[in-house]
Each structure stands twice: as structure tokens, then as C-alpha cells.
Chain A
Amino acid sequence: MDIAIRIQNVTLGYDRHPAVHHLNGVIESGALLAICGPNGAGKSTLLKAIAGTLKPLAGAIRFGGGTAPRDIAYLPQADALDRSFPIHLFDLVAMGLWRRCGLFGGFSRKDDAAIRSAIATVGLSGFESRPVGTLSGGQLQRMLFARLLVQDARLILLDEPFAAIDSKTVADLLDLIGRWHMERRTVLVVSHDLDLVRAFFPQALLIAREAIAWGKTASVLTPENLLKARAMIEAFDRQAQACERAA
């Protein structure tokens, strides 16, 4: 089977304090993986490292043959979108074409159609000329998903995509994720909602500074593992020595 991502003894952190310690594993191409763990466990940090916005303190993250560099669509937890900027929904979704169009590329009729179809898929037809500042939370999230659709990437990273949105939107977005999975794209989703993860995700990674369990969801989210995860200490240790551990 194709390996999409190889995580080799990766340690991630801020200011020398590790948020994620010595992580090892592979993520296959086409996997649908949920990343779970308590607050401060390093879930967002891991996604940031895979997306390339955070450099590992040690170790390396390597991408398999199927994934070109930057062929990654990343939805961060709290998007730093400036909602007061005078831009319409259509133009913001169109930004997803950056990798194909770059600085000057014009939009062909095909691109135009792709953008409109993405907007329709997330149920926002008719919203094309709306300024983004007038959208509700759920509509904003749908819009960002539309942008992800337009990006058409092989690897999709979603950090808490279901936080604070209504159940209809959650259902629609889950449909979309299912579609991506059928199209053999690799999808990693950070989520706190364990019931959702059990119901929908075939694979899970339980992380609490280190990998507690990784594999089929049913065997990962067991009561013993969840208890182990909860015992993790959140705060950085000011007295910590340099880490002697090998892989």
C-alpha cells in the first residue's frame, strides 16, 4: 500500500519544550484518520507540522510518492481570516486556485465552474456576492470547506472543523469528508467528539504528548487508553533536563 506520510521520531514543541514527543508511524494513502486527545495533547501542533507551518525540534516528516510538496489543504482551528475585509464569498473561495493560477493566472471557464460547483456542494449557492463579514459561523465554515474543495489537494488536514456549528452543517461536512475518502484522498481530522469519531472514522490516533494508541478506532478508543491519555500533564516543566531518549 502507498504511504502518504512517514513520521520519523518526530518531536514538536515551542521554545525547546516538547508538545509532542518522539512520534513514529506511517499514514497510508487514502486513510481517514481521526486524531484525538485531551487539551494540550499536541493534536493541533502535529497538524501544523504536517502542513509545514511548524518545524520539528527533532526527527522528520516525509511525504510519500503520491503527495507533491504543498499539495496539502489545511484548515486551522481558528482561521485568522479578517472578516472585515471587503471581499465577496466567491473571491475568497477562488483563492483555493492559488497553486494553479499563482500571481497572475486568469480564471478559465473551467475554473469558474469549479468554484461555483464547490460553493453549491457546501450549500451556499446564492451567497457568491455576499461580503464575508456578513456570514454566520456555520456559513463561514462551509465557505472554508468550499475553498478546500477548490484546492483539490491529495492530503487534507482539518483541525476541529466541527467546533461550534449546527448539526445540519456537521452532517453535510461529514458527507463531504466521506466523498474525499471515496476519492482516495488522505484526510486527517482533529476532533474532540469521541462519539463522532467512533461512528465515522475507521482509524484513530490517540495522542497525549506521545502516541498512546494508533490503529483501528475500536481498539484505540478503549477506556484504558482514554484513562492513560487523561493522566498526561499539560504544563511544560520548567525544571526539565535535556531529553536523553532515543527513537
Chain B
Amino acid sequence: MTLQELLIAPFAEFAFMRRALVGSVALALAGPPLGVFLILRRMSLTGDAMSHAILPGAAIGYLTCGLSLAPMTIGGLIAGLFVAVGSGVVARATSLREDASLAAFYLISLALGVTIVSLRGSNIDLLHVLFGSVLALDDATLILLAAIASLTLATLAFLYRPFVLETVDAGFLASVSRSGGPVQVAFLALVALNLVGGFQALGTLLAVGVMMLPAASARLITGDMTLMLVLAVGQGMLSGYAGLIISYHGGLPSGPVIILAAGVLYLLALMFGPAGGLLRRLWSGRHLEA
């Protein structure tokens, strides 16, 4: 097989592959930067929990209107925001810390969602909501993903300073400005929005993967914030492309293979990353004079 046949032909020949690529690129533009902030704010598992929490909302949308974009998206968004806000409220009102209440919420959500889908749908439908169908993205979904990506990037640019300040020194921000609370809410809303978008392509179980894996590996490669964001986006795009190519030629399910591709990049960063990789720790070279 020539290189052209290997790397370009599937996209040249098939519209569904091109769609899948566009969808993956859109997800990779917006998800990884949010993932970087999730990691820096130690909210990695919160992202995971929120992606499961989306399921009952989307499932109710599915139950009432079938595999239709708008109801599932709106339902998922409501459920995701409800869980994000709800676990914070429960943490403040009871003795249960945030991680425990989040775990409780998302387990209930996942079980509820699967049950609801099973009420009306077949196993195929269940597989779609759990693992997404990146190869079945229609125009409406692509437009949604592109809109979410644009909104996320615009908001991140707009609120970059308060996001950083709120993460590194929330006490100081509170002493000089009242924007701490709204900024936190904006961040969670963006995460929920991107998870709902990712849900269509990758399903509830893997949607958070495109956010977290590129971000985690970027964290291992550099200690500079800007470079970290750029690298995360780059790796997200590369995983999307590589995952689609590999799944096409190998006859494998696309969503999970995209996440696996991101996983391979992460493992490479884990081994060789200059900012915390394992090899760096084992061999650091001779020390400097001053």
C-alpha cells in the first residue's frame, strides 16, 4: 500500500470519514485546553463524573424523541450542570466531601441512564450512547460541535486571566475582585458543554478521554502554560486522525481507537516527557555550576 493509500485515501474517498475527521478536530480544539485546566485544578475525576452524569438527561431526550440531536443535547446539558452544581451544594451543606458526593451522583446517573435507554432502545442504541458513533456524525451534529468549539475557545480567551488566577490563588482573586464565583461557574458550564458534544462522537464513557489524555501528556512534556495548551490541542488532533486511520484499516471501532491513540501518546510522554517523565527521573545528567 502506498503512503497516499494509507494516510489520505480513506478521507478522500468516503464522506463519513471526512465528517468524522472534522468532528474529531473540533473536539480536539476545545476539549484539551479545558482538560489542562481540569488537571491543574485537580478536577480530573470531576470531569469523568460529569461525563457519566450526562447520560440520564440525554437518555430522557432519546426516550421522548429518539436519536435526535437537540433533545439529547439539551437533556444532557441539564443533567451535567445539575450534577456539577448539585455535588458542590451537597458538599457545602453536608459533611460529605465533594469527591464522595460526586461519586454517588454519577453512579446513580449512569445506572439511571442505561435503564432509561433500555426501556425503549435496542443494544445498538445502548452501544451508541455508551461509546458514541463518530462515523455517523450528520451535518447538524458537526455544526453543533463546531459551535461548541468556537464558543469554548472564545470564552477561554476572554476569561483566561481570571481562570488562571482563580486556579493558582483563589484567595487573592477574592480579595481584589468579585469574579471568582462566576468564573468557576463558567468553567463548569464549558466542561459540561464539551462533554455533551463529545458524547455524540465518543459516547458517555469515553467523551472525557479527548479532554484528559492530551492534557495529561502535555503536562508531562512542558511546564509552560501556553506551550501546554498548544501541545494538548496538537495531540488531540493527532489522536483523532491516527485513531480514524487505524480503525479504518484495521476494521476496529473508531471511538475507542481514537482514545487508545491518545493513550499511546500519553504513555510516550510518561516515559520520555521532559517535565516529569520517568526516564527524566532516572537519568538527569551532570549538575550545573550555579
Contacts and interface: CB of A to CB of B under 8 A. Distances in A.
A86 B162 contact: no
A98 B224 CA distance: 22
A123 interface: no
Interface in A89-138: 92, 95, 98-99, 102-104, 131
Nearest to A99: B176
Given A85-B167, A103-B161, A95 B223 contact: no
Nearest to B275: A86
A121 B167 CA distance: 27
Interface string A139-181: 0000000010001000000000000000000000000000000
Contacts of A228: none
B169 interface: yes
Contact of A80 (B40, B162, B164, B171): B171
Contacts of A53: 171, 174-175
Contact of A103 (B159, B169, B225): B159
Nearest to B228: A86
B176 A98 contact: yes
Contacts, number: 57
B41 to A, nearest CB: 9
B225 A98 contact: no
Interface stretch (A29-37, A71-79, A201-209, A229-237): A71-79
B175 A82 contact: no
Contacts of B179: 103
| Interface bracket on A | 20 to 34
Nearest to A133: B223
Contacts of B170: 80
| Interface bracket on B | 20 to 34
B175 A52 contact: yes
B165 interface: yes
Nearest to A81: B169
B175 A95 contact: no
Interface string B30-60: 0000000000100000000000000000000
A80 B165 CA distance: 12
Contacts of A131: 223
Contacts of B162: 103
9 contacts: A79-B169, A79-B171, A82-B169, A85-B164, A85-B168, A86-B225, A92-B169, A99-B176, A104-B161
10 nearest A-B residue pairs (beta carbon) = A85-B168, A98-B176, A86-B223, A80-B171, A81-B169, A74-B175, A82-B168, A86-B225, A87-B168, A99-B176
Interface of B: 40, 158-159, 161-162, 164-165, 167-177, 179, 222-225, 228
